[in-house]
Structure 1
Amino acid sequence: MTANHVPGEARQVSEAWRQLAARPNPTEAFALELVAQLPEPARRWLTHAIPTGTPLSSSVQLTMRGEIRLGVWRRFSARQILAPGIGYIWAATAWVAGLPVRGFDRFTTGTGEMRWRMLGLFPVVTAVGADVARSAAGRLASEIVLAPIGFRTAVWTAGRSADHVIGTWQVDGEAESAELCIGPRGEVQSVSLWRWGNPGGAPFGRYPFGCTVHSEQEYAGLTLPATFTAGWWWGTGRQGEGEFFRARITAVVLG
C-alpha cells in the first residue's frame, strides 16, 4: 500500500484520492506540550496513541476487512484514505450472493457521494447531494479515532463525564461534534455523535450514531482501534437494530 496507489474501486475519484494523499504535512512532531492544554481524557488518549516524536502527518491510509449489513451481513475488504477535518474516500468490495459489489463512499471538497456497482456494470447505490454530504461530514468527525495525528483539526472540550471528551470541527460552515469515551490506559472505548441521516428510511435529521471499540493494536507506530462495530441508534434500545458495520484494521500507512 503506497500513497500514490489508488484502489480500483475508487478509480472514478482517483484525482480526489491523490489530492488527499498529497496534502502537505506539518513540520512538527508530536510532543507533550502540544496537548498540555487539552481536557484530561484527550491528553490520556493522545499520549497513549501517539509516541513522542511521531511526525504529525496530514493523512493516513488504512486497509480493513469485515462485514457490512446489506439486508443480511456481507463480507467486505476495503482501503481508505482519511485526512482529519478535510475528507476521506472509503473504497471497498462486498460480496452479495457470491457476486462482487464494488465502489466507494467519499467526502471530498464538500461533496458527499456513494457509488456502488455489481460486477462493475450494474448500479446498486448511487447517492449524492446535500444530505449525503452532511452525513459524510459526521462520519469524518467520528473517524478521528483512526487518525489521532489529526487532533489539532478539532476544538476539544469536556464531555459528559471525567472519561469523555468532545471534538468539534467546522465542516463547510456546519459544526460536527463527536464524543469519545477514553479508558484508564488512554484507549478509545467508544465514539458517539448526533449524525445527519435517514436510518431505516426515517426523515432526514440528526440521529444517535456511534462506534464501540473491542480491541486496539499498534500500526505504523500508532496505537489505534483494531476491531470495532458501528451503527445508528447507538446507546439506545435500538442499537442492535441499527448496527451495520463490523471491521478489523489490518494495516496503516501514514501520509
Structure 2
Amino acid sequence: MAAPEFETPFDPEMTRHLPEPARRWLDHAIRPGTPLSPAALLRMHGRIRLGSWRTFRATQILRPPHGFIWAAGVRVAGLPVRGFDRYSGGDGEMRWRMLGALPVMSATGPDITRSAAGRLASEFVFVPAVALSPAVSWEPGGGDRARAELTVNGTAHSVVLTVSPEGSLIELTLHRWGAPEGGSFDRHVFGAHFSGEASYGGYTVPSAVRAGWWYGTERWTRGEFIRFTLDHTEFL
C-alpha cells in the first residue's frame, strides 16, 4: 500500500497493513478526517537532571525525520541558563549560556549529531502522522509491541513501542548513541515511559513523559534525566 501524503485526511483504512499494536495506536491517536500533519510545535514544563533535578520550561519544533529544535530555560545556582538542542541539515548541536552571555556548554560534531538523530527518531510519536510516511517501516514486536524503523539522514533507527489495549502508548525503547554520566560514546538503551494523554486538533498524544538512559534496567534510576508535561501541542 502506498504511503498517504501529508494533508490527506486520515482514514483508518490507512493503518490496516500495519502490525496490530501500531494500528491500535494510530487509530486511537488520529481522529478520522484529521489532515495528516508532518510537524508539531510543543510547549512543555518539567524537571531535568543537571547534577540535581531542576525545573525548566521549553518550546520545541519537531519534524521527524528532518529535524527538531528544543529551546529551554532553567536556573542553575539561582542564575538563568537558556539555550537549545537541535538536529537540522544532518547536523546536531547543543548550545547553552548563562545570563545570555556566559557559555555553559557548546557541543557539535559526529557524536552529538548521531545522538541527536536518535532523539529525533524516538520523538516521532509526538507527530503520529509521521508513522504513516515513507520514512517509517513497521514490523511486529511480539505481544503489545511493534517495531518502527525510522530513517534519519540515511540511517535506520529501530524504535520499539508498547501499546495499551485501548491504544495509548505505554513506553518506547531504542538503542541510542550517547555518553551517559560523561562516559565514552556508545550505543546505550534509551527509553521513555508515558502516562496521561491530551488531544489537540484531532490528535491524541502522551501528556506526561519520563525518559533517559538504561531504561528497563537496574541503572534506570541513574540514567533517567528528564520528566516533563506537555502544556500544548499545535500540529503544523
Tell whether the structures are fold-level matches, with TM greater than 0.5. yes
1:158 corresponds, among 123, 140, 145, to: 140
Residue 88 of structure 1 corresponds to 68
Shift of 1:205: 1.0
Structure 1: give runs of 5+ residues left out of the alignment: 1-24
Q: What is the rounded CA distance, in whole Å, between the counterparts of 2:33 and 2:137 in structure 1?
A: 22
Residue 189 of structure 1: aligned partner? 170
Q: Please give the alpha-carbon distance, in whole angstroms, between the structure 2 residues aligned to 1:76 and 1:27.
A: 33
SS of 2:116's partner is helix
Q: Which moved more, 1:220-229 or 1:60-69?
A: 220-229
The residue correspondences of 1:167-246 to structure 2 (distance < 5 A) are 167-246=148-227
Contact kept? 1:85, 1:171, Cα under 8 Å: yes
Question: Could you tell me which residue of structure 2 aligns to residue 141 of structure 1?
Answer: 121
Q: Which residue of 1 aligns with 2:14?
A: 34
TM-score, normalization by structure 1: 0.88
TM-score (norm 2): 0.95
Instruction: Determine the structure 2 residue equivalent to 1:119.
Output: 99
Q: Which residue is equivalent to 1:16?
A: none
Give the structure with the higher percent strand: 2
Q: Map Cα deviations across residues 75-100 of structure 1 (whole Å, 9 max, x no partner).
A: 00000010121111001101112211
SS in 1 for 2:222: helix
User: Among 27, 30, 47, which residue is 1:47 paired with?
Assistant: 27
Distance across 2 between alignment mates of 1:212 and 1:220: 23
Quote the Cα distance in structure 1 between the aligned partners of 2:125 and 2:198. Answer: 13
Q: Distance in 2 between matches of 1:234 and 1:39?
A: 24
Match of 1:76 in 2: 56
Matches of 2:149 and 2:130, distance apart in 1? 12
Q: CA deviation at 1:204?
A: 1.1
Amino acid at match of 1:150: V
The one-character-per-residue Cα deviations of 1:140-167 (angstroms, maximum 9, x if unpaired) are 11111211121123111111x2200111
Task: Supply the RMSD in Å over aligned alpha carbons.
Answer: 1.1
User: Unaligned stretches of 5+ in structure 2?
Assistant: none
How far apart are the structure 2 equivalents of 1:205 and 1:164? 25
Q: Runs of 4 or more off by more than 3 Å in structure 1?
A: none
- Per the alignment, residue 132 of structure 1 pairs with 112
User: 2-side partners of 1:43 and 1:200: how far apart?
Assistant: 37
Query: Identity percentage over the alignment?
Result: 49
